Structure 1
Amino acid sequence: MGAQDFRTLYERLRRAARSGPDGGRRGALRHLTPARVAAAAAGVRLGRTVSLAAPIETRPGPDNPEPAKHRMTGPAPGEAGADGLHFALDRFAMNVHGDADSHLDALNHVLYDGELYDGVPAGDATAPEVRSLSVDLVGEGIVGRGVLLDVPRLRGVPWVEPGDHVTADDLTAAEAAQGVRVGPGDLLLVRVGHRRRRRELGAWDAARSRAGLHPRALAFLAEREVAVLGGDGNNDTAPSAVAGVAFPVHVLAVQAMGVHLMDYLQLEDLAGACARAGRWSFLCVVAPLRLPGATGSPVNPIAVL
């Protein structure tokens, strides 16, 4: 995709995101109304819950040079077998925006041309208008209708190969094949099979090579008024389809459209559950940590079928 074509698409999606009568700092979450949340809850049929998160990685690997650090800090030596009350304790630290662990990107995560979403200047991370776009914005959680579009299932392959793009045509074809339609306020999850490939072939340097959405596919999200986008990879393809813009999908989704992203989810269990149930929509509950001013959070989304 040429630089000018990308700029044209960027400006178009940015204008559309700002033109709605109910726009503002909530971004695409404005499409997720209380009525749509209630409708999503009413759609639960089986009462089965499925986690969409991968276990947090604590060992280094090709895609995870800075793994999360977890250690037991208690009980103190000699306390475990001693009489009386004692506690097991933990300490945990992680690089939220790595290439292995499931996480959510807030609207203050992506800077482009010196701005964040909604034209907010990106200079002062502590400024009130910048903090208003942080993960605080979703501190009450995101709950709505989730829809899984399974692109490897559509193509008849175990996974989409690294470097390959998911197009808008793939998304509409997956809808037709699965008998589901993405609509306003939906949490759209796109499976490319990243986790299955990693499990079967081993980890690789996903920063250099991974499957993801083509930038033009973001027009599909805008037309359908999607509230949240999640994927089992980074959502962006590597190498990038746009010279000079390493993460065009992040730029379009987060910075231009105000769409919260969830990266590196684990969608294999959900794909199997949906196939067995014969339905590809479900209640989806996303509960980020309450980290004041943060650009993202580890996350364990739950699908309820």
Structure 2
Amino acid sequence: MNNIKQDFTIKDLENISGIKAHTIRIWEKRYNLLTPKRTETNIRFYSNENLQKLLNIVLLNNNNFKISKIAKMSDEEIILESREMAFNSLNNDEAINSFKLAMFQFDKVLFNNTYNNLLLNMTFREVFKDVFIPFLDHIGLLWQTDTLIPAHEHFISNLIAQKIQINTEKLQYSVSNSAKTYVLFLPENEIHELGLLYLNYELTLRGNNTIYLGQSLPLNNLDYFLKGDKEFCFITSMTIMPFDAKVEEYFKEIDGILKGVKHQLIATGNKTNLVSNLNFESNIKLYKSVSDLLKEL
């Protein structure tokens, strides 16, 4: 998983593009659109260039370009037409395909143009919920099928994180002096922070004061906030950490830290299911997802 992935199976291409392997083979044989290589045992595999070309073809085909017409275009023409199409597309599914293409090509210009076009007709909240969340869900599936490499995921995640941070910064001066302050952090060795970043945006949008501590925070760092009379609500999100076998121990440590104080902890993520039957002595609330939490805020 840590090596740069340059070769893809036809199943990888199907997972990424949404086009059935059978259809890809037809496009390959009938129209010579892709040129796979073969292993010594005669198994097809496709290059990164093949993948990028397929994503461009899908974008054009979804916008009324017939495959027979695309087959007559040069590789350069396919790239130019698809980029222009991506820049002008407003459909959510097309935007998601454009973001896929931007991710696999490390194309920041394509990402930003697609994002800016969406904002012509949508609010940032709508873009995040209707486009970024389905896109990120798809990235999760690509991880599970070992189709995605860390470089791709880091590139696109950082671009999305920048958009969240920019929109959050715009709200900073509208924050009220609310009685409760939210302190947002991720457990040690947890680096997947897009959900927490977006939650920070939503809390700020609602006029709340937030302190964003970010990735990989040791629990003893919370001691600073336990002194004094100010009330805090701690929020954490768990994607891969702690490991399943350590989740119960982690929550018991938090329970001990917050026992007898007025502060609250909110935890989100699928790992909260592992401790849903525990009886806490402190004020701890569990939510399966950030979306579930937002419904109650």
**TM-score normalized by structure 1?**
0.23
Instruction: Name which structure has the greater RCO, CA cutoff 8 Å, separation 6+.
Output: 1
Structure with max Cα Rg: 2
More helix by share: 2
More strand by share: 1
